[in-house]
């Protein structure tokens, strides 16, 4: 149980895929313009990550080494297809808002990286913990970034106006603002980590 907990926690804190491993920045920066997009993408990616980790861990001894990456992609693509169909059926506005980034979950380096680095080498329960932790870490990172971008860039939070006197900085919802914010967050977190280790 302790190992399960350690694998779960590392994805949230010490090996957060966005803030410490710095993977999956393309979808992160593209969809983090609003909290609702961040929640939708985070849940979709977490579902795919958890399910693909579990299936790959179950099949790890049956998948030949030479074709493991194509096999991983097929498993991941199956779960992405489920996510796409659910979004189209039950959340068409979110589906339109996320656009091409949902199908691109298939080649998201966080998901493929966890399949290769962890799920293909570990048992099902630990792979489940890894998927949950990394997924939750991804969701939390998306929410932090979206919180800053939506409030500073549009003066709203979850679509609700915060203040009529606030003049939003439109650059925050554009790519340069996203990159600037990421740089500040990554630098700040590394600075805090260095203070704690010294």
Distance between first and last Cα of the chain: 31
Residue 31 has pLDDT above 90, yes or no: no
d(CA 31, CA 172): 13
Label residue 103 exposed, middle or buried (CB < 10 Å: 0-12, 13-18, 19+).
middle
Supply the pLDDT for residue 83: 95
Taking all residues of the chain, what is their mean pLDDT, rounded to a whole number? 89
Residue 167 has pLDDT above 90, yes or no: no
Region 59-69 average pLDDT: 90
pLDDT in tens, 179-188: 899 999 989 9
167 versus 150: which is more confidently predicted? 150
162 has a pLDDT exceeding 80? no
Q: Which two tokens stand for residue 48?
A: 């795919």
**Nearest-5° Cα angle at 193, 174 to 157:** 35
Looking at residue 124, its pLDDT comes to: 95
Q: Calculate Rg over the CA atoms of the chain.
A: 18
Domain boundaries, the chain: 2-197
Distances (CA, A) of 156 to 139, 179, 181: 20, 20, 17
Quote the distance between the C-alpha of residue 155 and its chain's center.
24
pLDDT at 47 (0 to 100): 96
**Contact in structure between 168 and 46 (CB atoms under 8 Å):** no
Give me the pLDDT at residue 78, please: 96
Residues 82-111 have pLDDT tens digits of: 999 999 999 999 999 888 888 888 888 889
Tell me phi and psi for residue 156, to 5 degrees: -130, 165
- Residue 194 pLDDT > 90, yes or no? no
Of the candidates 156, 170, 178, 132, the residue with the CA atom closest to the CA atom of residue 35: 156
Instruction: Please say if the pLDDT value at position 166 is more than 80.
Output: no
């Amino acid at each position: 149980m302790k190992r399960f907990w350690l694998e779960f926690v590392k994805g949230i804190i010490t090996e957060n895929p966005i803030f410490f491993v710095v993977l999956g920045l393309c979808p992160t920066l593209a969809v983090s313009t609003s909290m609702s997009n961040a929640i939708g993408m985070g849940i979709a990616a977490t579902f795919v990550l958890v399910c693909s980790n579990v299936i790959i861990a179950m099949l790890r001894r049956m998948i030949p080494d030479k074709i493991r990456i194509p096999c991983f992609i097929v498993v991941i693509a199956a779960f992405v297809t489920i996510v796409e169909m659910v979004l189209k059926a039950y959340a068409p506005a979110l589906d339109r808002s996320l656009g091409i980034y949902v199908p691109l979950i298939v080649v998201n380096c966080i998901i493929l990286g966890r399949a290769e680095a962890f799920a293909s080498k570990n048992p099902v329960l630990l792979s489940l913990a890894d998927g949950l932790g990394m997924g939750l870490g991804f969701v939390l990172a998306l929410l932090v970034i979206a919180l800053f971008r939506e409030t500073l860039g549009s003066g709203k939070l979850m679509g609700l106006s915060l203040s009529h006197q606030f003049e939003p900085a439109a650059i925050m919802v554009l790519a340069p603002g996203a990159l600037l914010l990421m740089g500040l967050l990554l630098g700040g977190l590394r600075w805090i980590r260095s203070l704690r280790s010294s």
